[in-house]
Amino acid sequence: MKALASYLVCAFIVGALQAHGYEQIPLENHDLPETWLSKYGKQIDQPFSGPLAFSHLTYSRCLEDESAEFDIAVLGMPFDTGTSYRPGARFGPYAIRSGSRRQREARGYSLAWGNNPYEQGSKIIDCGDVPIIPFDNALAMDQIEVAYSTLLARPVASSKSSWAKGAALARDGREHPRIVSLGGDHTIVLPILRALNKVYGSVSVIHFDAHLDTWAGYPGTVSEQSRVTHGTFFYLANEEGLISNTSIHAGIRCKLQGLGDIENDQSVGFHFITSDDIDDHGVPAIIKRIRERVGDSPVYLSLDIDVIDPGLAPATGTPEAGGWTSRETKRIIRGLAGLNFVGADIVEVAPAYDHAEITGTAAADIVHDFLSMFMSQEPPTPYTFQGSWPKDEL
């Protein structure tokens, strides 16, 4: 009796639904809902979305993944326990990647360079970060050196690379990948130079910075480990025979103990260009001096973001007033294309002191310039819109 009642209730409800147009249609006769792929295509990353890799590049944990192939690797080095003033550069790789989100392979062409570094036949990927220990600087230095050497030893991905002179420079006569390191404080350059030395011997350094970074030590330096800092690493690199006596600083304006610091700097192997030299001599003369100084030697480029004026790049550990603009720095970098670069870094980005991501955006743009620089055999000719300027222009 109860079952009959249930049946009658159900039959009534089904009848009522059918009367109101809610008839169930068998699945095989019904159109499946359109998928994202069929309606909108690939799941692209918007500039503001997706996982955080430099310039939305392929991200691989290259230190553990030996199948990752690259000609140029972007490698984060989140280390900041060698800094003398404001810490925070361990977040530099994050800030630079974040600042790169409006960059992408499909839109990498610039009028200034006349190329897209991602379309020159070389494979460029983001190799993630070195998991650097923040509790033991001696261990951290070894981790950076081992990580750098690990990637440097990998075969290059492309059979026809733009890195034409690489094999001729290397001690083993083969081509090695190039690494763009995202610091981290400047101390990371010591283990990087140790790793490069094993492949290329001593290298010339082009060093963009407000500071010399060739000091023998800070007051209170009493242990061997406390000599290893972001202001002393070039002194130590020279002690170890890692750098040639053909190196040069650009953008110097820090305060000194006196001219003794300059004598010491020269004994470490450096000439220098001050930030004011840009007013007295101009960008072309600065480019010429740098190129003449390093010549045909293997060159490592190290750029401390504090070379740029703190008004345009405030997020750094030891800011110095009166620096170059981002535009001036970018123009000088363009003039260096064609030198024998074996690697490059950008260091000392400490985003806790940033405003509106100014510094991260500038740093990411300079990394794009490094990639274009690696791809160019000579400085680019500026693109000008034909016929747009008057003939009697001064």
Which residues would be at the binding site for Mn ion (CB under 5 A)?
Answer: 209, 211, 304, 306
Q: What is the nearest approach in angstroms of Mn ion to the Cβ of residue 213?
A: 6
The residue among 344 and 375 lying less far from Mn ion, judged by its C-beta, is: 344
Could you tell me which of 261, 303, 320 has the C-alpha nearest to residue 96? 303
The residue among 175 and 304 lying less far from Mn ion, judged by its C-beta, is: 304
Q: What is the nearest approach in angstroms of Mn ion to the Cβ of residue 348?
A: 6
Q: What is the nearest approach in angstroms of Mn ion to the Cβ of residue 210?
A: 5
**Interior/surface letters 31-47, b for 16+ CB within 10 angstroms, e for the rest:** eeeeeeeeeeeeeeeee
Grouping H, G, I as helix, E, B as strand and the rest as coil, residue 186 is helix
Could you tell me which of 332, 329, 325 has the C-alpha nearest to residue 309? 325
The residue among 209 and 354 lying less far from Mn ion, judged by its C-beta, is: 209
CA distance 63 to 359: 28
Q: What is the nearest approach in angstroms of Mn ion to the Cβ of residue 208?
A: 9
The residue among 199 and 252 lying less far from Mn ion, judged by its C-beta, is: 252
Could you tell me which of 75, 202, 78 has the C-alpha nearest to residue 151? 75
Q: What is the nearest approach in angstroms of Mn ion to the Cβ of residue 230?
A: 7
The residue among 42 and 255 lying less far from Mn ion, judged by its C-beta, is: 255
Q: What is the nearest approach in angstroms of Mn ion to the Cβ of residue 102?
A: 27
Span between the terminal Cα atoms of the chain, in Å: 106
| Residue keyed to tokens 């030198």 | 339
> With the C-alpha atoms ordered 307, 310, 311, 312, is the resulting torsion angle positive or negative?
positive
DSSP summary character for residue 349: B
The residue among 231 and 298 lying less far from Mn ion, judged by its C-beta, is: 231
